[in-house]
Structure 1
C-alpha cells in the first residue's frame, strides 16, 4: 500500500475509507489536511481555494461553509458570471447552486480537478442556536454526504456555534448509523466554538466509542493550555482507543509567520499526530496563507515528499 504523499488521482478516485485510514497510518505522521472556505471569493481569480491548497501540498482538503442545500464553490462555479452586468448575474449564481444540489457528481468533479481527497465540515449545533440549515449535522445533510461522494466528514464547530461534547457524540452516532462503516468520521474541537475547549483526554475516548475513526484536538500552542505534554496525553488516549489523531491549527495562526507554523508542526509530530490540519483564515480569504501550507508540509516530511505531493495534483 502507498503512503499518502505517493497516491495519485486515480488512486484517490478508487480508494475506500478503510484503505485511506491504513494509508494515513502507514505515512507515520506525514499527512497534511488544509481546510478551505468555499463561499468566499478567492485570492487568485479563476482558482478555487481547494485547488490552491492542493497546489501547495495538501493531501486532504476539508470544505468549510459548504451548504448541502445550495452547494457553491467560488473559483469554479462563478467563472462564467460577470457581476458588472447587473443583478441578473447574481440570480445566475443562485441558479448554479440549485443545479449543483441535484448533481451527484459535484464533488467527484472537484476531486478530478484537484486530484485530492475531499471532505466536509458538518456541525452538530444545539437546537436553540440559529444557524444555516445546509451546514448543520442532521439526517438530510448526512444523506447528501453520500449523494455527493465525499471521502470523509469532520464533525466540529465553527466559532460561536455552541458545539459541545454531547452534540459531537450524538452527531457521531447519527453519522455512523446513516453513512455506514466505510465513511471516515473525524470528530473533535480545534477551539472553544462558544462552549469551551476539551481538556480531558477521557472525553476523546467517548468519541471513539461513539464511532469516530479520527479524533481532532487543538495543535500545541494554538489554544491556551495545550502544550506538547498535554497534546501527547490526549493523542496517547486516542491511539490506545484504536483511532487516528488529528492536530488542528484553527485559531487564525495559519496566517502567522512561517516559523510559527514550523514550530507547531514539529510539536504536533512529537505529540504523535497522524494528520496535521491547517485552517482557513489566512487573509480572511477562506484559506491559510498558501506558503504556510507548504511550510507545514516541509516541516513534517521535507521537500522531497512535499514537492512530490504538489506535482501529483492531476497525475494518473
Structure 2
C-alpha cells in the first residue's frame, strides 16, 4: 500500500473512503491537511488558494466557506474576469453559480487542478443563529449535494463565534451517517471554542468516534489555552480506542505565526500521536502562509517526502 505522500495524480481520483483511511493510517502521522477560504480573492492572483496549498505540500484540501446555495470558488470560477471589471465580474459570478449548481463534475475539476483529496466544511450551527448562510449548515440538502459533487470528505466543525457546541456536533453525525454512508470520510470535532466550550473531555471526543466520525479533530498542542502535549495524547488515546483516526488542528491564527511556532506545534502533535495534522486558513487572504504549510510538512515527514508531494502536484 502506498503512503499518502507517495500518491500520484490518478490515485486521488480512484481511491475510495476505506482505502484513503487505511493509506492515512499506513502513513504513520505524516498526513497534511490545509484549509482554504474560497469566498474571497486568493492570496496570489490567478492561482486559487487550493492550488497554492497543494503546491506547498498539502495532501488534502478543505474548502472553508463553500456555500452549497451559491457554489463559487475564487481563483477558479473567476478565471478571465477581474474585480476591477465590476459589471463583467458580477455577470460571470451569477452565471458560474447557476452552472456549478448542476455540474456533477464541478469538484472533479478542482481535484484535476490540485491533484489532491478535496473536502468541505459544514457547520451544525444552532437554529437560534439566524444570519448564518443556509448553504454552509449541516443539512440533508447540503450533505446530498456534497455526495453529488463527489467530495472526498466532509468536516463537521465550527468557525469562530458560531456558538456550536459538542452536542450540536454529535447530533449532526447521525444525519451524516445516514446520508453519506460509505461514500465520504466524516471528520468531526472542535479546533477552538467557536463561542462555546473547548474540547478537553476524553469522553466527548470518544463520543464523536462512537457516533460516526471516521476522524476526530482536536486542537493541536499550544493552540488553545491548556492544550499541551500530554492532554492531546490522552484525547488521542480515546479516539484510537474506538478505531477512529485523530487529527490535530491549528485553527487559532497561528498558521500565520513564524516557522518556529509551526515546527513546535507539529512536533508536539506528532509526539501526541496525531494521524493527520491540519493547518488553518487565517494567514493572508484565506490561507496559511504557504511557507508554513511546507514547514509543517517538513517537520513531520522531512524534505524528501515533502518535495515528493510538491512534485506530484500535476503528474498524471
Q: Which residue of 2 aligns with 1:46?
A: 46
**How far off its partner does 1:95 sit?**
1.7
Greater CA drift, 201-210 or 267-276: 201-210
4+ runs deviating over 2 angstroms? 82-89
Alignment of 1:161-180 (within 5 A): 161-180=162-181
Q: What TM-score does the superposition give when structure 2 sets the normalisation length? A: 0.98
Q: Encode CA deviations 1:40-71: one digit per residue, 9 max, x unaligned.
A: 11121100000000000000000000001111
Q: Which residue of 1 aligns with 2:3?
A: 3
**Does the Cα contact within 8 Å between 1:208 and 1:215 map onto a contact in 2?**
yes
C-alpha distance in 1 between matches for 2:148 and 2:235: 34
**Does the Cα contact within 8 Å between 2:60 and 2:119 map onto a contact in 1?**
yes
C-alpha distance in 2 between matches for 1:86 and 1:41: 14
C-alpha distance in 1 between matches for 2:88 and 2:307: 43
Alignment of 1:81-230 (within 5 A): 81-130=81-130, 131-230=132-231
C-alpha distance in 2 between matches for 1:200 and 1:276: 20
**How far off its partner does 1:37 sit?**
0.4
Q: Which residue of 2 aligns with 1:30?
A: 30
Runs (5+) with no aligned partner, structure 1: none
Q: Which residue of 2 aligns with 1:56?
A: 56
Q: Which residue of 1 aligns with 2:273?
A: 272
**Does the Cα contact within 8 Å between 1:258 and 1:295 map onto a contact in 2?**
yes
**How far off its partner does 1:186 sit?**
0.4
**Does the Cα contact within 8 Å between 2:81 and 2:88 map onto a contact in 1?**
no
**Does the Cα contact within 8 Å between 1:5 and 1:31 map onto a contact in 2?**
yes
Q: For residues 83 and 263 of structure 1, do their structure 2 counterparts lie closer, same or farther at Cα, with a shift above 3 Å needed?
A: closer
Q: Which residue of 2 aligns with 1:263?
A: 264
**Does the Cα contact within 8 Å between 1:81 and 1:93 map onto a contact in 2?**
no
Aligned length in residues:
315
C-alpha distance in 1 between matches for 2:266 and 2:172: 29
Q: Encode CA deviations 1:104-127: one digit per residue, 9 max, x unaligned.
A: 100001001100000000100011
Q: Which residue of 1 aligns with 2:297?
A: 297
C-alpha distance in 1 between matches for 2:83 and 2:182: 44
**Does the Cα contact within 8 Å between 1:18 and 1:182 map onto a contact in 2?**
no
Q: Which residue of 1 aligns with 2:306?
A: 306
**Does the Cα contact within 8 Å between 2:236 and 2:274 map onto a contact in 1?**
yes
Q: Encode CA deviations 1:62-108: one digit per residue, 9 max, x unaligned.
A: 00000011111111111212333343431321221121111110000
Greater CA drift, 162-171 or 11-20: 162-171
C-alpha distance in 1 between matches for 2:198 and 2:98: 37
**Does the Cα contact within 8 Å between 2:190 and 2:199 map onto a contact in 1?**
yes
C-alpha distance in 1 between matches for 2:167 and 2:126: 9
Q: What TM-score does the superposition give when structure 1 sets the normalisation length? A: 0.98
C-alpha distance in 1 between matches for 2:134 and 2:183: 26
